[in-house]
Amino acid sequence: MRFWHKTYILTLLLFLICLNTGIMALAVYTYQKNVENTEASATAEQHYITRSFENDYNSMLEAGGMSNPSLLMESYGNHYKSKGIYLSFEKDGKNIYSGFNIEYSVGKNVIAQKKIDGVRYIFISSDICNGEYDIVYVKNISELDNEFETLMAVYALTALVVSLFLALCLFLVLKRLSVPLDKLRLTTEKIEKGDFSVRAEEKGKDEFALLARSFNEMLSKINEQMSFLEIDAEKKQMLVENMAHELRTPLTSIHGYGEYLEKAAATEEERILAAKYIVSEASRLKKISDILLDTAYVRENRFEYTEVSLGELVLDTVYRLSNKAAENGVTLNTDITESTVSGDKTLLSMLLYNLTENGIKACKQGGKVKISCADQQLTVEDDGKGMTPEQLTHITEPFYRTDRSRSRSEGGAGLGLALCKQIAEAHNASMRFESEPEKGTKITLVFTS
């Protein structure tokens, strides 16, 4: 059963109980009051009749004896009968005159109501003439019952109409109110079926709107997280595929030349060539494994922070790479404004070495690489072949090569910049790449810590 169904049924039930109980109580109270009023007026009337009878009886006694009091009684009886009041007179329990021709029994000095043949009467008895007689006053009060029944009928009809009206209104109102909840439910059902692009409607300012808003926010967060995880998984998959490729190429060579040495009828020269290939490909494997280990080293944050002079770092790197630069016909320039940063000297040196080496590789014969340092900042700038914006977004991924065909003529494993990125991150340094094809690349490292 839906929530709004429950609310509807319970509210309606509660209301009907209250309404009908209220109406009933009112009806009963009104009836009670009417009975009391009737009784009071009947008592007053009986009192008046009694008084006037006693007066008449006494004046008759004084005027010359009472031959037959029953005549007086009869005249009173007849007189009041026309007003719907029946009088009876008794003496010592014996009926002298009775205007009421139905059997009844009633005690002395009482007020009682009796139903005789479905008609309600009020009986009031009292003694008169100093206890010589008893008078019984009887009045038909079935009017009271009729009134009550009519009243009840009117009340019941009203209650029925009001109840129906209420039931209808409540139904419409609750159904209308539950619409946003229903919409929210439909939204969740869609999500359950895998459609994460849907959003709940955020109309209004009530709890449902608030709920929808939080729900949408939650959905956005989940979507964000999911796409992040997807990208991450994709990257990892790429990494594994690339790594398999990187490892398979030298492995193929080593395996192939090994088998060649084992099986081929080869000349001494061919054997030496095969052996050389085995050695060089094995050292390529070693290089890959070294860089992977370096990457793991950086990831595990096992390094020592000291004050590192950036000027020294630049000079040191230039010194180590001067031979390679000369071989490639590349000029290394420096622009040093001394500054120190807190970091691991080995790692920072590795970082700058990698960046500079990349710069040298990107340059043609006669190219220039400029390494500069200033306040908390390192810059490596080359005038080499540059990169497209698309390439720039990938360069820090492990095993990525800007040359899509993965030519290894320049050497390297394609891991350098991935390592650089990790080192930079470990030092809270931001690494910014600016590049334009055929114009060159500029890498700026800013240390923020």
Beta carbon nearer to another protein, 258 or 311? 258
Tell which one of 301, 365, 405, 448 touches another protein (CB under 8 A). 405
Task: Round to whole Å and give the CA distance between 385 and 370.
Answer: 15
**What is the edge-to-edge ordering of all strands in the sheet holding 429-436?**
331-336, 368-374, 377-382, 440-447, 429-436
Q: Say whether residue 273 binds another protein (CB under 8 A).
A: yes
CA distance 316 to 310: 10
Say whether residue 253 binds another protein (CB under 8 A): yes
Binding of another protein by 428 (CB under 8 A): no
What DSSP string runs through 150-188?
A: HHHHHHHHHHHHHHHHHHHHHHHHHHHHTHHHHHHHHHH
The rounded distance, in Å, linking the Cα atoms of 247 and 252 is 9
264 binds another protein (CB under 8 A): yes
* 281 touches another protein (CB under 8 A): yes
Question: Distance between CA atoms of 289 and 284, rounded to whole angstroms?
Answer: 9
Binding window for another protein (CB under 8 A); candidates: 4-12, 137-145, 192-200, 253-261: 253-261
* Residue 115 token pair: 């139903």
The single residue among 2, 81, 108, 255 that binds another protein, judged by CB under 8 A, is 255
Taking CB under 8 A as the rule, does residue 248 contact another protein? yes
The radius of gyration computed from the CA coordinates of the chain, to the nearest angstrom, equals 57
Quote the least distance from Cβ 265 to another protein, whole Å.
4
Cβ 337 to another protein, closest distance in Å? 41
Q: Total residues contacting another protein (rule CB under 8 A)? A: 30
Quickly count: other Cβ atoms within 10 Å of residue 198's Cβ. Answer: 14
Q: What is the DSSP letter of 402?
A: S
Residue 394 binds another protein, judged by CB under 8 A: no
Residue 294 Cβ vs another protein, minimum distance, rounded to whole Å: 24
Residue 107: how many other CB atoms lie within 10 Å: 9
Minimum CB distance to another protein, residue 255 (Å): 5
* 234 near another protein, rule: CB under 8 A: no
Q: Which residues bind another protein (CB under 8 A)?
A: 241, 244-245, 248-253, 255-257, 259-260, 262-266, 270, 273-274, 277, 280-281, 403, 405-408
